[in-house]
Amino acid sequence: MKTKPKEKILTYFIGLADLALLVLSLLQIFHPIFKLPNLGVFNAKGSIAQAQSRLIITAILMMLCLAIPVLAAGFFIIFKYRDGRNGEYDPDWGQRHNRLQWVWWLFPGLLIALISIINFQSAHNLDPLKAIDPKTKPLTIEVMALEWKWLFIYPDQDIATVNTLDIPQNVPVQFVISADGPMSLFWIPQLGGQMAAMTGMTNHLNLIATDLGSFRGQNSEINGAGYAGMTFTVNSVTPSNFKTWVAAAKQSSPALTAAVYKQLELPAQNVPAATYAPVDPNLYYGVIDRYMGPPSVGHDHG
Amino acid sequence: MNILFGNLTWSSLPHEWFTIAGTATIIGGGAFMAGILTYFKRWKWLWNGWLTSTDPKKIGIMYLIVASLMLFRGAVDAAMIWLQQSIAEGPHAGYLTPAHFQQIFTAHGDIMVFFATMGLLFGLINLIVPLQIGARDLAFPFMNSLGFWLYVAGAIMINMFFIFGGEFASAGWLSLPPLAEIAYSPGVGVDYWIWSLQISGLGTLIGGINFIVTILKMRAPGMKLMDMPMFTWTSLCSMLLVVSVFPILTVVITLLWLDRYFGLHFFTATAGGNPMMYVNLIWMWGHPEVYILILPTFGIYSEIVSTFAQKKLFGYTSQVLAAFGVTALACLVWLHHFFTMGAGADVNAFFGIMTGIIAIPTAVQFFNWISTLYKGKIRFATPLYWFMGFLACFTFGGMAGVLLSLPAADYQLHNSLFLVAHFHTMIVSGALFGIFAGITYWFPKIFGFRLNESLGRKAFWFWLFGFLLSFGPLYLLGFLGATRRLDHYNVPGWQPLFIAAGLGLALIGIGALFQVAQIIVSIRDREKNRDTSGDPWNGRTLEWSTASPPPFYNFAVVPTVTGRDAWWENKQKMRDARTGRGQEYQNIEMPKNTAMAIYLSAFAFLASFAFVWHIVWMQIFGLAGVIVCIIIRSLDENTEYTVTAQELEKFEKSPARYL
């Protein structure tokens, strides 16, 4: 089957993007020398973040193809026709070439047409709602953004954690996200993101870690005084280590009851990591329901 | 609650270092100015000559002065943000509390957008648009004065927290709920935010209506729409956006206020409120707002390019269509500010593609400017330097914007410092550089003498490199996963980049000092740099056909226009083409001065202050005052006076005919 020319152009760009990403990953060898942290979104540890960084590089390269010649021509012209240089002064040039103004629409038009294609495709391929592998059952983690800490509930494992998150390598994870407080944004730059956490509703975010390691996670939406400290660590571990971790957590952790949650709910800054087991099974949806109930007089007058 | 003072108590008065410093600056600065005015006996001059004036040129200059003060105020915020972010790594907590830091960046955003950039633009539009279309004044001179004074009232209101209350809003420049609701922001900060934007927003809306009517109805005879200079066109587009979207702002912050004041639930997290509705509505205003800032400066660049290339603007029709394309599309892209709020892929892709399409008319304008420069005779004056800086920076800022328009890429870049770097590139190189270019370009027209070129260029280079150094690292920090608005972080690798950004800010500061020096030196050398011709740049449009500075009536005889670049064409036809020379003068009607706009704004200010502090009697008093002022002004039919032909002739012949 013949590929359409537009698609062909796109494949060239994606090839170039991969090359650029390769160079970037080689550069990362030097990051201790430059004291740079892991190169954030370009140091992807999962297939979603990998695809997103590839998309970013592809789009940048496509735009440079127009921007660099235009800028080069622009500055060349500015200096060539500087008053006192030998550039020919022809004030009526414009009137004779008036129709060129319509040609100019074509160049950015074509570029944006191409970018619109990858815009549409990537918006669907990388839709956070989409299951990563329809054949595998994902690990479900309920995320609750509190003032100012993250509560992660593993409903199938019956454990919960605060500000720390263990996930098995190469297993798709489905984050089910809500909030019990102001709006927050859930982001793990090296795995992908971001998704809003809002009261009374649930958002979904599907991610996967293809590498082992510890990654930084954070809130990216201002939600009050403890905003900057609302970070968490994501540990990608082997599936067998994950099982061991779950078993250990179940043995030695306090239960997450309604009373404990009430304590957890109180605003607090820079909260240390914690683990809970077992977990009140209705906790997550109970919190959501609380925000959907009838108006209660004086409820939100702090 | 106290009947006399509402929620105001002794503890509302300043007691922290920054509120004491702010209050001292406000009161000290005010007392100093009052002292100078009293010593030189200038009160009457100030009141009659300036404050109560309805002359758009004087109002324009007052806009520029107030906006420059606010630009300085916003820059101090920027420096405080930088200092905190440079030191607050790991064990170092920095010198600001999180709450204080959050107030500073909130104030920085609001002041820079609403009071610095908007003020500078309204100043330039006031000064230049009437001259460009050959009008003597605006369609509604009183409304113009009112718009200005409401803007001033808003600018004072946003600083009132220094004196009463001690805290500003800390929920970001758009005060998104539920964070900005009473449950999470119980203080008066958000109320100050609401009322400051409410009054100044009304002023903007009034100004928008005024300029649309002026441009459509008051053009010189013969000037067709397609003969208008580009700055007038883009100002028209900008004002069309103002009247389209500012009512949304007015309504949405009124609803937020109802939530906060009466405990309603439009946007609360609880009781059926819908915060997402607020996010949608505020961005339906907020995104067009960005184009309100950028469009007029694109017009300024068009004027500068064709003047300094000494060529007709290439692709005028295309340029007008592009401006209208941007205007229309500006209203169709608001959702790209929250791709991460969970809309489906189809919705996100639609708004993403619409956003990308805006790049087309924008890029076309670049092509047209470069075509204008082609085969020109380009004079490298300071305004052209600003244009060149803009050309380079804006291209990359625009690329960053297209990148952010891809929802799948935005999931990784949203609310990161990459985003912060992007919109600063657009506003600084797009709007601010353009404003600086415009001020340098029109300065001789406004004040009668040129600005010092060499200091202007030095200022430009410091601004350019300072800008690159302060925002380049932010792009990188965004890729490294750094989010915006951090008062503290635990990643050592980020710190050098934050410090580099701060050094960039210091360079910008030096650039700003050069600008101040430029103005001082230019005033000192004003006799040497005096513009006696009225046309120092060999200009093309009508503003250059009258004297510099223009007489209060702009044109003794309104020029008749036969085509584009009216003044240039006139000059080609005859040597001394000064409008009105040798023609017969006629009696003209000019608007009288009025202090009513000041009174009305003062009452609106009082009412707003009373709403912040729940002082019921003062609310009623303020609102009643506003209504009475409107009635008195509406019944006043004696708002104009006649300048007779003889007086006009005398003015035209005497050298000191202004001010």
In this prediction, residue B526 carries a pLDDT of 87
Q: Which of B378, B477, B572 to mutate to test the interface with A (most CBs of A within 10 A)?
A: B378
Taking the mean position of all CA atoms in its chain, how far away is CA A285? Answer: 25
Phi and psi, residue A274, nearest 5°: -150, 160
What is the pTM for the complete model shown?
A: 0.91
What is the rounded average pLDDT of the residues A83-103? Answer: 86
B395 and A67 within 8 Å at the Cβ level: the answer is: yes
In this prediction, residue A34 carries a pLDDT of 53
A183 and B181 within 8 Å at the Cβ level: the answer is: no
Residue range B32-88, pLDDT digits in tens: 999 998 998 888 888 888 999 999 999 999 999 999 999 999 999 999 999 999 998
Q: Which of A80, A101, A292 to mutate to test the interface with B (most CBs of B within 10 A)?
A: A101
Which chain A residue is nearest to residue B260, measuring alpha carbons? A301
Reported ipTM: 0.89
Per-residue CA distances from B61 to B53, B64, B125 (Å): 11, 5, 11
In this prediction, residue A25 carries a pLDDT of 65
Q: At what angle do helices A47-80 and B345-373 cross, to 10 degrees?
A: 10
CB pairs under 8 A between A and B: 304
Contacts of B411 in chain A (CB under 8 A): 52, 126, 128, 192-195
In this prediction, residue A297 carries a pLDDT of 47
Q: Is the pLDDT of residue A296 over 70?
A: no
In this prediction, residue B212 carries a pLDDT of 96
Chosen CATH of A139-292 out of 2.60.40.420, 1.25.40.10, 1.10.150.80, 3.40.50.9100: 2.60.40.420
Taking the domains of chain B in order of start, what are their residue ranges? 42-594+639-653
Taking the mean position of all CA atoms in its chain, how far away is CA B81? Answer: 22
Residue B231 pLDDT grade (very low, low, confident, very high; cuts 50, 70, 90): very high
Per-residue CA distances from A128 to A183, A291, B187, B483 (Å): 18, 24, 37, 20
- Which of A169-173, B10-14, B536-540 is predicted most confidently? A169-173
Place of tokens 């220094």: B162
Q: Is the pLDDT of residue B587 over 90?
A: no
Q: Is the pLDDT of residue A301 over 60?
A: no
* Cα separation, A94 vs B299, whole angstroms: 19
Which is more confident, B601 or B646? B601
Taking the domains of chain A in order of start, what are their residue ranges? 5-125, 139-292
Residue range B151-189, pLDDT digits in tens: 999 999 999 888 888 889 899 999 998 999 998 999 899
Residue B657 pLDDT grade (very low, low, confident, very high; cuts 50, 70, 90): very low
Residue range B323-371, pLDDT digits in tens: 999 999 999 999 999 999 988 899 999 999 999 999 999 999 999 999 9
Residue B637 pLDDT grade (very low, low, confident, very high; cuts 50, 70, 90): confident
Q: Is the pLDDT of residue B491 over 60?
A: yes
What is the number of residues in chain A?
Answer: 302
% of chain B at pLDDT higher than 70 = 97
Residue B142 pLDDT grade (very low, low, confident, very high; cuts 50, 70, 90): very high
Residue range A207-257, pLDDT digits in tens: 999 999 899 999 999 999 999 999 999 999 999 999 999 999 998 889 998
Residue B659 pLDDT grade (very low, low, confident, very high; cuts 50, 70, 90): very low
* Cα separation, A165 vs A172, whole angstroms: 14
Work out the minimum CA distance from B105 to partner chain A, whole angstroms: 11
Residue A39 pLDDT grade (very low, low, confident, very high; cuts 50, 70, 90): low
What is the rounded average pLDDT of the residues B494-501? Answer: 88
Contacts of B167 in chain A (CB under 8 A): none
Q: Is the pLDDT of residue B578 over 70?
A: no
Rounding to the nearest 10 degrees, give the CA dihedral for residues A73, A78, A82, A87: 20
- Concatenating the DSSP letter of every residue in B461-497 gives HHHHHHHHHHHHHHHHHHHTTPBSS-S-B--GGGHHH
- Concatenating the DSSP letter of every residue in B157-183 gives HTTGGGTTTS----STTTT-TTTTSTT
Are B56 and B137 within 8 A, CB to CB? yes
* Cα separation, B459 vs B504, whole angstroms: 14
Q: Is the pLDDT of residue A300 over 50?
A: no
Contacts of B492 in chain A (CB under 8 A): 35, 37
Q: Is the pLDDT of residue A135 over 60?
A: yes
> In 3-state terms, what secondary structure has residue B136?
coil
A192 and B412 within 8 Å at the Cβ level: the answer is: yes
Q: Residue A205 contacts by C-beta under 8 Å, 6 or more apart in sequence?
A: A128, A174, A175, A177, A186, A192, A193, A195
In this prediction, residue B568 carries a pLDDT of 84
B415 and A185 within 8 Å at the Cβ level: the answer is: yes
* Cα separation, B403 vs B423, whole angstroms: 13
Which chain A residue is nearest to residue B269, measuring alpha carbons? A199
Work out the minimum CA distance from A274 to partner chain B, whole angstroms: 19
In this prediction, residue B46 carries a pLDDT of 87
B312 and A94 within 8 Å at the Cβ level: the answer is: yes
Q: Which of B339, B362, B412, B464 to mutate to test the interface with A (most CBs of A within 10 A)?
A: B412
- Which of B6-20, B41-55, B226-240 is predicted most confidently? B226-240
Q: Which of A102, A112, A201 to mutate to test the interface with B (most CBs of B within 10 A)?
A: A112
In this prediction, residue B539 carries a pLDDT of 87
**What CATH class is the domain B42-594+639-653?**
mainly alpha
- Concatenating the DSSP letter of every residue in B387-435 gives HHHHHHHHHHHHHHHHHHTSHHHHHHHTTBHHHHHHHHIIIIIIIIHHH
Are B377 and A89 within 8 A, CB to CB? yes
- Concatenating the DSSP letter of every residue in A154-220 gives ETTTTEEEESEEEEETT--EEEEEEESSS-EEEEETTTEEEEEE-TT--EEEEE---S-EEEEEEE-
Residue B144 pLDDT grade (very low, low, confident, very high; cuts 50, 70, 90): very high
B317 and A101 within 8 Å at the Cβ level: the answer is: yes
Work out the minimum CA distance from B517 to partner chain A, whole angstroms: 28
Which chain B residue is nearest to residue A218, measuring alpha carbons? B483
In this prediction, residue B22 carries a pLDDT of 85
Phi and psi, residue B191, nearest 5°: -65, -40
Selection from B471, B470, B469, B482 nearest residue B413 by Cα: B482
